[in-house]
Amino acid sequence: MSGRNLVPLGLDDRDRLNAELGGGIPRGSIAIMEGQYGAGKSALTQRFTYGICEEGHTVTFLSTELTVKGFIDQMHSLDYGVEDHLLDERLLFLHGDIDSSSALRGDEEDEGERMQLLKRLMDAETMWESDVIILDTFDAILRNDPKFEHLVRQGDERQAALEIISFFREIVAKGKIVILTVDPTAVDEEAMGPFRSIADVYLELQMIEVGNDVRRNIAVKRFTGMGEQVGDSVGYSVRSGIGIVIESRSVA
């Protein structure tokens, strides 16, 4: 595949992540990064964000956990300074305050708006204008959308998922990339199945205990439209003041 069809992850002089993942993410892809709490989903998407911006592409990063200050502080702790990218509008950061915002989880009088959480997300046209859109964490958005939850209770989770997938397909048809992070323990298996099946890129983050050490690993389950060859497994660590480090040792 031509490099023009890939959005590179950059930072080739700092780590080998871009090379390990074939030179970048193919344009027009839906990517899922799945892992339990502590597996490194946020750190990896933050690394993706910084590297992609450094390459001159635009990113929208929606976090359901971090405020703007928390995001900037977290990026600094990994030596991924993003102030210039924010100021130059290469990076749009959004805090999805789904737990406390009256607009999203308001009182009874706000119930109508609350029922439209996913719809309001889809209608936020500006956030979908970037080359890459990252939703961290997508499972929290699903869990806090009453309409989606209602359909799950009725056993219609597949239909609910397919409606969202249809929207994502419209976005990536424009050559954009949508990256979703998911904690598989937080969402019904039937609800996640359709998302996994349509993902062009599917990465499973694993934590493996070896003695007193916890090793992290990216298991590449699917990588459609790859550039260079992508391996089945990438060992990595997250280090304060350094960021993501690709480990040469294999994870058993």
3 state SS for 200-236: CEEEEEEEEEECCEEEEEEEEEEECCCCCCCCCEEEE
Domain boundaries, the chain: 3-246
**The model's pTM:** 0.90
Residues forming beta bridges with residue 161, ordered by sequence position: none
Residue 225: CB atoms within 10 Å: 15
The per-residue pLDDT for 42 is: 96
The per-residue pLDDT for 230 is: 86
Profile the chain (252 residues) by mean pLDDT over runs of 10 residues.
79 96 96 94 97 98 96 97 97 83 42 63 95 95 84 80 93 98 90 92 92 89 86 93 84 42
Backbone angles phi, psi at 111, to 5 degrees: -60, -35
Question: To which residue do tokens 């209602």 refer?
Answer: 150
Phi-psi region of 23 (alpha: psi -120 to 50; beta: other; left: phi over 0): left
The per-residue pLDDT for 111 is: 46
The per-residue pLDDT for 154 is: 84
For domain 3-246, give the CATH number. Answer: 3.40.50.300
The per-residue pLDDT for 117 is: 75
The per-residue pLDDT for 12 is: 96
The per-residue pLDDT for 4 is: 66
The per-residue pLDDT for 3 is: 52
